[in-house]
Structure 1
């Protein structure tokens, strides 16, 4: 893939997303299909009720189609690219199922936890089957060394894909936060893939970045559309898969620090309440804590993105 093809891939995914989203938003308004806002969330979020959701349907389809077309043109239809597209599609479909239940049954609870978990595990195992078929290392990459862990890598990879899929999903609670943070993370791994000459992974990351930038135009505060579980579950799973394919799995703990902290805040909040009856945060995930402290959504976004940018740049300095 040439530099020009990479630029075209990014611009194409951006442009198609920008063209399709307004039509999807108008369709959702006509059908009166809007997000049901959680009653236990911040009270001022209730005014967002009715905002179209499932924006992930559009950018997932754009990523799927543009990736395959540009990969075919650039002769990059490799097993690695195909499995990335598959993970995005499968996790996205789990989110679609989840979002559909919420929309059409007019309730805020979608899939049961075990149903979502089972689907995510199956997707991770299929990813591992392709990974094994390509004779890639079943080992963890730490501090420039590869630590072979044999069959334990299977458990690790499943945990990684399922964990980060749900972590990104938990982070998606205020306008624009995940779209911006995921763009930074995918840009980081695009740089790593370029450095390693993994053209297929680079192509996928560039297409994701372009589509997310297009989506952000309609998702920033005040959001005209939400990505829904279809978007956040897919992005998290794909991001974890990319980190494994470039051989820098552990770096995602730092590059995706915001996702890790958001998840940890929920775990700590639940554990503290069950053990002591007291809450650590005013509300979890932690972005809601800052909202209740009086921070605007834009202030939270800019602060969290800045942290994500700093961790990403420092990660790149140690890798490239």
Structure 2
């Protein structure tokens, strides 16, 4: 079984690199280029015009590897539905930005509605397929809290929150893709130890696509994943947490995503309530940039924090409640 994880990881890495080599020139020809927001750091203006929508070949790569290896377990199919659904939602957002040559795509309400619909359908599907209990598992304990029908609301919050958090993290070259590699790898280990190998295979394939994407996305980035990629990866991470009943553990496994989202919430709340900003700019990675850190320095520091958080939480979870 261990060998399969390595094989699928390598297949995903190679497939993503091959598809990326083909897709990047095509995206340039189609003028699918990034429009950098005016209020962002001045150092980012050089990124204006960089091809985006790299999430297209990331998702396509994952699907190809899944189909080639016939990894089509019902749980995998529902996770694929959530991933593709968010990818399509992100693609619409990216397409509007590219077509209108602006930084604004779908409205916040349109995006939120799409995320909620996908979350409801996914929750209904996995509850019916996997017979999940309507309860929340408390990390690092054996405690389950039954919440009944509120479970649907809880899952919606997890999916909407996680997909948006990964989207917010995708602001520096390689930042989101690198953090996703770490989070997916932690979940792959969790699934391997619990014997949930089909789900684990899909997760390691997603990790492989992110590694392959880093070949193009590491600084200086040749392409960005766009909302097509970040929403899809965020939806996938949220779906994995629901299927493995580790929704609250995701706070620690996806620590960087959480603090990036919190930094935006704190910044907005502070400015609206007091007229003052807590950070020089949000999300948090921009605060460090404006504090004098280089982009590469910020990315490596965030990767390190994410790695420590994911590994520590995984070890503590397994130690306190063996899977």
TM-score (ref. length: structure 1): 0.96
Q: CA offsets, 1:112-154, max 9 Å, x none? A: 1111111111111111111221211221111222211111110
Deviation, structure 1 residue 4 = 3.0
Q: Which residue of 1 aligns with 2:225?
A: 227
Q: Counterpart in 2 of 1:114? A: 109
Distance of 2:12 and 2:23 partners within structure 1: 16
Q: Is the 8 A contact 2:137 2:144 kept in 1?
A: yes
Give unpaired runs (5+ residues) of structure 1.
none
Describe how 1:290-305 pairs up with structure 2 within 5 A. Answer: 290-305=288-303
1:13 aligns with: 12
**Corresponding residue of 2:99:** 104
Deviations 1:89-111 (A, max 9, x none): 00000000000000011111000
Q: Does 1:52 align with 2:44?
A: no
Secondary structure, aligned partner of 1:34? coil
Counting matched residue pairs gives 315
Given candidates 128, 132, 152, the residue that maps to 1:133 is 128
Equivalent residue number for residue 42 of structure 2: 43
4+ runs deviating over 6 angstroms = none
Distance 1:93 1:87 in 2: 10
2:111, 2:179 → 1: CA distance?
23
Corresponding residue number in structure 1 for 2:155: 157
Residues 261-319 of structure 1: per-residue CA shift (max 9 Å, x gap): 11111111111111111111110001000000010111111111111111111111112
Indicate if the aligned counterparts of 2:254 and 2:306 stay in contact, CA closer than 8 A. Answer: yes
- Secondary structure in 2 aligned to 1:140? strand
Which whole-Å CA distance do the structure 2 matches of 1:15 and 1:112 have between them? 36
Corresponding position: 1:23 with 2:22 = yes
What is the CA distance between 1:9 and its match in structure 2?
Answer: 1.4
Tell me, what secondary structure is at the counterpart of 1:123?
helix
Q: Is the 8 A contact 2:32 2:95 kept in 1?
A: no
Aligned positions of 1:120-199 closer than 5 A? 120-134=115-129, 135-142=131-138, 143-199=141-197
The two structures, once aligned, show a CA RMSD in angstroms of 1.1
Separation of aligned partners in 2, 1:144 and 1:186: 23
Q: Distance in 1 between matches of 2:207 and 2:62?
A: 9
**Which runs of 5 or more structure 2 residues have no equivalent in the other structure?**
319-323
